[in-house]
Chain A
């Protein structure tokens, strides 16, 4: 293990570690463009120059391996000047059209210029223009070759990560230009990741184009709910323009969040653009057979029904169809309320068509929390279809459905039959045919509007956090469950999802020892050997 000194501080790193990573270990960030920890090293931008003692020339820290006894200076006058000159060259032909550039605000050229810039530029305005300004190169990505600094990250991404080889760098000298290989279009399922790794505004998101300036964004760490992988994301919402909110989407975009255990630095395009569901087609008020109704009346009716069934000893004939879209906390409360307290007929799965999957991130299971549901509610439960059938037979006093769009999965006929047999209460985030058919449809918050945890297909428990307020009258399902418990006088005192999780970790083995704090923003995996369910889900 080589031991070296960086900026006067000693650090020991595994053999083969690059200087830039060794410095990062000490909390020293060396400016860089082409280096990306998830990509092979190219060493072509020359931005990461550092001074190494007994070495006459500056060296690129992204490529040099740490060696025993090395003395590295990242802040010496020489190193700084080296980076300053590099930056000057990078900007030589850069258009600096930041006012119209979507990258402005999160652009590494801007950031490093603030740190290292000459601030009295020597270049003149005779820039080499490229053939075309911004143009789309695929369904999700815009390319502006004039802004490109030829770091080749995008090329390496398509070569090494997706192996689709769309990008290349063509021509030479100041005519070098990034572009697509002729005849190709950037349409692989992970294409928009090049937007994130491009350090400048050469590759920008077509969906995000001109929608918002990035400094208006508030950022909340969360987890993608597109499939059971549970890729870590950041929810970017419009924070600074409340005066413009009316009629505008609140969520502006999703960005991948680094998690070496789950998604590394990437997410798929389907997950990235799933943010649109958060603000569109939502159920924002209680509905009675499709017509606006009072939420309090709806909640009161369900609570009264539960209390009455318990009194009459018929609570076993309450059907509850929970969902793998619910958080661990909500599922736990479902278990406490409906199984422990009411011994109701419980289910959480329905037959679904197999989803698309690949060998990188995308999984076939399109629900974020099936592993958690199986662990908390158990695997031996009936399927949703059985509940429907019982309801249709008139065997149930009520059927409570969380999230599932029954009409889409089981067909409108079976839904109608069930609704005829027993009053149907649907707790849903979005309006759909099932909410129309229900006796009462109650709006619940979605994952961007509440905190909680999901368990992904690897048995990793990961936190989501509230980015925006619940839309309209909707409220988190765990709060609704707590309200029912109040009506049944169960004496629950949950103030937050965190306190539910504390109880969950105390009573469900797989979650033992976990707490909101130990999960952090990266999550934690179930203890090995315990959860057979998780293994089965994989």
Chain B
């Protein structure tokens, strides 16, 4: 079968284009438009004008948080039943699907035989997590979600990147090992 080949002829540059002057000019026009436009906005801001326009697309991160799309995947949390217990039944499907092998669950007996099973420990190593969200999608109990809106994941050690069951159940707790610098 003959492949469908379309030969594209490369257009030779004209002599004038070959000096690059027209392209340089066009480029300068674009960048200068941004430069002076933004400069004007910044100066107006100093005088309290044009407050609605942004002179840049930058978010000044720690002070100014970027608004997250509601489907944005952030730090994990475990959902609770009405009784306040975890919904997780330690089925280990998330552990199984996790492409980064960063979930580690140990199961134990739940006192209520109708629930039967629950995690004895549930660790997620955020240092390895790739935020694919597979764990959320695979969970048959809607027990894990990635909607805490927390992105501020930093620690002084690899071990500090591991979320345990308490962190997962209480996403509002301060993150991880409370800033214990590694002794040098």
Our verdict on whether A and B bind, yes or no, reads yes
- Chain A residues in contact with chain B, CB under 8 A? 97-100, 104, 132-135, 209-211, 213, 215-216, 240-241, 243-244
**Are B96 and A210 in touch, CB under 8 angstroms?**
no
Q: Which stretch from B5-13, B69-77, B104-112, B153-161 is at the chain A interface?
A: B104-112
Q: Which residue of B lies closest to A209 (CB)?
A: B109
**Are B109 and A210 in touch, CB under 8 angstroms?**
yes
Knowing A134-B116, A135-B113, say if A99 contacts B108 (CB, 8 Å): no
- Separation in Å of the B20 CB from the closest CB of chain A? 56
Q: Which residue of A lies closest to B128 (CB)?
A: A243
A404 to B54, CA, bound (A): 83
User: B108 contacts which chain A residues (CB < 8 A)?
Assistant: 210
**Are A213 and B96 in touch, CB under 8 angstroms?**
yes
B37 part of interface (Cβ distance < 8 Å): no
**Are A210 and B101 in touch, CB under 8 angstroms?**
no
**Are A100 and B113 in touch, CB under 8 angstroms?**
no
Q: Which residue of A lies closest to B103 (CB)?
A: A243
A97 to B115, CA, bound (A): 9
Contact of A215 (CB < 8 Å), options: B96, B107, B141: B96
User: A104 contacts which chain B residues (CB < 8 A)?
Assistant: 91
A478 to B107, CA, bound (A): 39
Knowing A210-B108, A243-B101, A244-B104, say if A100 contacts B116 (CB, 8 Å): yes
Give 1 or 0 for each of B116-154: 1 = CB within 8 Å of chain A CB.
110000000000000000000000110000000000000
**Are A132 and B113 in touch, CB under 8 angstroms?**
yes
B89 part of interface (Cβ distance < 8 Å): yes
Knowing A100-B117, A133-B114, say if A213 contacts B92 (CB, 8 Å): yes
A133 to B112, CA, bound (A): 10
B93 part of interface (Cβ distance < 8 Å): yes
User: A215 contacts which chain B residues (CB < 8 A)?
Assistant: 96
Q: Which residue of A lies closest to B117 (CB)?
A: A100
**Are A133 and B104 in touch, CB under 8 angstroms?**
no
User: A133 contacts which chain B residues (CB < 8 A)?
Assistant: 113-114, 116
User: A240 contacts which chain B residues (CB < 8 A)?
Assistant: 96
**Are B104 and A243 in touch, CB under 8 angstroms?**
yes
Contact of A99 (CB < 8 Å), options: B89, B104, B114: B89
Interface of B, secondary structure class, is loop
**Are A99 and B93 in touch, CB under 8 angstroms?**
yes
Q: Which residue of A lies closest to B109 (CB)?
A: A210
- Separation in Å of the A465 CB from the closest CB of chain B? 26
Knowing A134-B113, A134-B116, say if A210 contacts B104 (CB, 8 Å): no
Q: Which residue of B lies closest to A129 (CB)?
A: B114
User: A209 contacts which chain B residues (CB < 8 A)?
Assistant: 109
Q: Which residue of B lies closest to A132 (CB)?
A: B113
B90 part of interface (Cβ distance < 8 Å): yes
For this complex, 13 residue pairs linking A to B, each with C-beta atoms less than 8 Å apart, are: A98-B140, A99-B91, A100-B89, A100-B90, A210-B107, A210-B108, A211-B107, A213-B91, A213-B92, A213-B96, A216-B96, A241-B104, A244-B104
The 3 closest A-B pairs by CB, nearest first: A99-B91, A210-B107, A133-B113
Contact of B117 (CB < 8 Å), options: A135, A210, A241: A210
A243 to B103, CA, bound (A): 9
- Separation in Å of the B117 CB from the closest CB of chain A? 4
A477 to B89, CA, bound (A): 44
A133 to B115, CA, bound (A): 9
Q: Which residue of B lies closest to A240 (CB)?
A: B96
- Separation in Å of the A246 CB from the closest CB of chain B? 10
Q: Which residue of A lies closest to B125 (CB)?
A: A243
User: B116 contacts which chain A residues (CB < 8 A)?
Assistant: 97, 100, 133-134
A261 to B127, CA, bound (A): 53
A240 to B93, CA, bound (A): 13
User: B92 contacts which chain A residues (CB < 8 A)?
Assistant: 213
A135 to B114, CA, bound (A): 11
A104 to B92, CA, bound (A): 11
**Are A99 and B113 in touch, CB under 8 angstroms?**
no
- Besides A99-B93, A133-B113, 20 new A-B residue pairs in contact (Cβ under 8 A), listed by A number: A98-B91, A98-B140, A99-B89, A99-B140, A99-B141, A100-B115, A100-B116, A104-B91, A133-B116, A134-B113, A135-B113, A210-B90, A210-B109, A210-B117, A213-B92, A213-B96, A241-B95, A243-B101, A243-B104, A244-B104
